[in-house]
Amino acid sequence: MTKAFLTGITGQDGSYLAEFLLEKGYDVIGMVRRSSTVSFQRLRHIQDQLEIVQGNLHDQGSLISILEQYQPDEVYNLAASSFVPISSHQPVLTGDATALGVARILEAVRLAYPQARFYQASSSEIFGTVQEVPQTETTPLNPRGPYGIAKAYGHWMTKHYRQVFNIYACSGILYNHESPRRGLEFVTRKVTHGAARIKLGLAKELRLGNLEARRDWGYAGDYVKAMWLMLQQEQPEDFVVCTGETHSVRDLCESAFSYLGLDYLEYVVQDDRYFRPVEEKLLVGDPAKAHKKLGWKPTVGFKELIQMMVDYDFEDLKRQI
Ligand code: GDD
């Protein structure tokens, strides 16, 4: 049986990837940090098929032991502190987990099981103030803010282990990817959940930041397939993974509210508290390399994605009333 080891298994991407790998017949081992409130909410339907192991990206020894014990064929490093604005308030913690955590897990692979193939969850935030539009695998990195800077370090370390230690290591430079399993603090889910609450009479307004901010929003279920494909190639390489299409937060509101028969202009309020001090503009990727070499293409478009999320939130909230 092919074995895969995942960090970040309790997160959105971890749950979709675990599901996908189980369907492929993998043995899936997921690392969780010990805490009094570990949430297995996204894994409940597959939890009995997973091997859950205690470990921590802050603890080098725990990673080496896991790699020695399980000798996984594939390692997916999805764990990180993923909410961008928080990183400005916790720059050291962000650096320790999101940057040094990558070095620690790569060291564990090198020391304990260098045959493993390694996937690093890189991010479009490494392009920061972009040096070209659209961005490709060769666009120079120019991150701003602790999150992007930490992800850039992880990105370069992955390349370093590939070039110097000959490890099959690659980074997926993923643009925003969403789903009904997205955390409520991210803007897509905040909007779909907020619109559903308003429709059900549970709220009167939705407070957001910059409505003109633009992002490329794809479906997380599609993006985990790209991660897997990256580890099935002959040579390890980095790939930009995105839809190539951007929409504004305003478009997002329009889609979600109108799907529920509401006019977003009557409910959405812009609030300074949710504006970012630095807003990345023109984050637009070019997925041509992933299309060509991986044969990967997204299957869920923007409108469909938002409707899927609204449907989920509406039904879920209705059940709770
Ligand atoms: N969260 C949030 N809340 N964002 C808002 C709001 C709001 O009330 N109002 C406007 N926005 C805008 C933000 O300013 C940003 O431009 C955009 O919505 C998306 O914000 P998020 O959903 O928080 O995601 P992100 O782009 O900062 O980061 C996500 O994508 C990256 C690239 O894939 C995260 O998933 C990162 O972990 C990931 O690396």
Which pLDDT tens digit goes with each residue over 31-48? 999 877 778 999 999 999
Q: How far is the C-alpha of 20 from the C-alpha of 152, rounded, in Å?
A: 27
Residues sharing a CB contact under 8 Å with residue 160, sequence separation 6 or more, in sequence order: none
Give the domains, in start order, of the chain with CATH numbers: 3-177+218-241 (3.40.50.720), 184-216+246-282+301-320 (3.90.25.10)
Q: How far is the C-alpha of 156 from the C-alpha of 176, rounded, in Å?
A: 20
Alpha carbon nearest to ligand 1 atom 30, residue: 176
Q: Under a CB-based contact definition with an 8 Å cutoff, are residues 284 and 247 in contact?
A: no
What is the per-residue pLDDT for 278?
79
Dihedral angle sign, alpha carbons of residues 164, 168, 173, 174: negative
Which residues are paired to 96 by β-bridges?
A: none
Ligand 1 neighbours (beta carbon < 6 A): 82, 84, 123-125, 174-176, 185-187, 190, 208-210, 213, 215, 249, 274, 276, 279
- Mean per-residue pLDDT over the chain, rounded: 96
* Cα 216 to ligand 1 centre (Å): 10
Which residues are paired to 77 by β-bridges?
A: 7, 120
> CB count, 10 Å around CB of 304?
12
pTM, 2 dp? 0.97
Describe the crossing of helices 145-165 and 101-112 by its angle, rounded to 10 degrees.
20
* Cα 301 to ligand 1 centre (Å): 18
Residues recognised as catalytic: 123, 125, 147
What is the per-residue pLDDT for 180?
98
Alpha carbon nearest to ligand 1 atom 36, residue: 82
